[in-house]
Every structure is written in C-alpha cells, then in structure tokens.
A = this chain, B = another copy of it.
Amino acid sequence: MTFWKFFFNSTNINQIREENKNKKTKLLVKGLETNNIYLSTCKKINLEELEILCDAVGWVRRPLKKVKYALENSFLAISLFYKYGNDQRLIGFARVTSDGSFNATIWDVVIHPDFQGNGLGTLLMKQIIKELRTHDISTITLFADPDVLKFYKDIGFVIDPDGVKGMFWYPT
C-alpha cells in the first residue's frame, strides 16, 4: 500500500483539530489520538468502509460485487484516511477511468460530511491531477452536479469548453 502523508500547514492542522473539537459527537471516529491525514492509491479497498462513507453523503447503495469490479477496472482509486492511534478511518474517496494516455474521467468524489470544509476535497482532487499528469494525461474530465460546480471551478476545471457538452445515455 502506497501512503503519502500530507504535510499540512499549521493552519490546516488547527482547522481539523477545531473541527474535531466542535463536532466530537458527530464524528464517526471516537477517541482521536492523532490528526494525521493519509492518502492511498491502493485499490484493495474495504468495501464496507466505502459503503459507510457513501451512505454518509446519501448515495444510493450499489451491489458490492459491481463496486469491487469497478474498482479493479478503474485506472486510479484514491482513498483518504484519518489516522488515529493504530487505527484509521476512510473519510474520502475518488476514482478515475482512463486510457492511461490521453483522457481520464473522475467519478465518485466523496468527503465525509464531518470532514468537509477543511480543503480535503481540493487536496484529493489535486493529488488525482498530479497522478494523472505523471502519465502525461492531459484531458481530465468529470461530470459535476450543480452544487459542486464552484468547487471544481476553483480547482481549475472549465465547464463546456468551446461548447463541448457532456452527454448521457441511460437505459430506458
């Protein structure tokens, strides 16, 4: 498993500490001993943990077998962990489909509500972009709900460049 530790500046660390103090009862994680945030690109993700995370943001549950297969066939999956003592909790996630060469599409971006507002989503996205750029992938795409357009714009994503439109086909 590949881990990077984010070396937040002290402001961010303090923000997280403050967040934890204020939301202690709301936190999934109790008895916090450390406040380290880790990212992992390991695709062997605990599916139940991922399900709990997705439940927390109100996503519809999906068959675990299909989720497992989707993860295996994703070009990149990034998990964000909050480490406390000798344990850790999955608090963020995103994955990417790609041809590994030109194009990539980011799916299923999620940060646990108790940890939102600390810049973790931006860090997750920037790490994805960094990873994809190491493969010289230059067209990084996603499909954004209306309420997160600003979030992605602030990271540098552009809506409908040159009139190019995102289109969907669903089974009828």
Residues of A within 8 A of B (CB): 62, 66-67, 69-71, 73-75, 95, 97-105, 107, 129, 133, 136, 138-146, 149, 152-153, 155-172
A159 near B165 with CB under 8 A, answer: yes
Complex alpha-carbon distance, A170 and B102, angstroms: 11
The 7 closest A-B pairs by CB, nearest first: A166-B166, A70-B101, A70-B99, A157-B167, A146-B163, A73-B100, A140-B169
Complex alpha-carbon distance, A149 and B74, angstroms: 28
> A138-B170, A156-B169 provided; 20 other pairs, C-beta below 8 A?
A62-B102, A66-B101, A67-B101, A70-B100, A73-B75, A73-B100, A97-B98, A97-B105, A103-B105, A105-B105, A138-B171, A139-B170, A141-B166, A143-B165, A143-B166, A157-B168, A157-B169, A159-B165, A160-B166, A161-B170
CB neighbours of A169 from chain B (8 A): 129, 140-141, 155-158
Complex alpha-carbon distance, A160 and B69, angstroms: 27
| Chain B proximity of A117: nearest CB distance (Å) | 21
Complex alpha-carbon distance, A165 and B165, angstroms: 8
Complex alpha-carbon distance, A75 and B105, angstroms: 13
What's the number of copies of this chain in the assembled complex? 2
| Chain B proximity of A33: nearest CB distance (Å) | 36
Complex alpha-carbon distance, A100 and B116, angstroms: 30
B140 near A164 with CB under 8 A, answer: no
B95 near A73 with CB under 8 A, answer: no
Complex alpha-carbon distance, A78 and B134, angstroms: 28
Q: Pick 22 A–B contacts, CB within 8 A, sort by A.
A: A66-B102, A70-B100, A70-B102, A73-B75, A102-B107, A129-B169, A138-B170, A139-B168, A139-B170, A140-B170, A141-B167, A141-B169, A143-B164, A153-B167, A155-B169, A157-B167, A158-B167, A159-B166, A160-B165, A161-B168, A164-B166, A165-B166
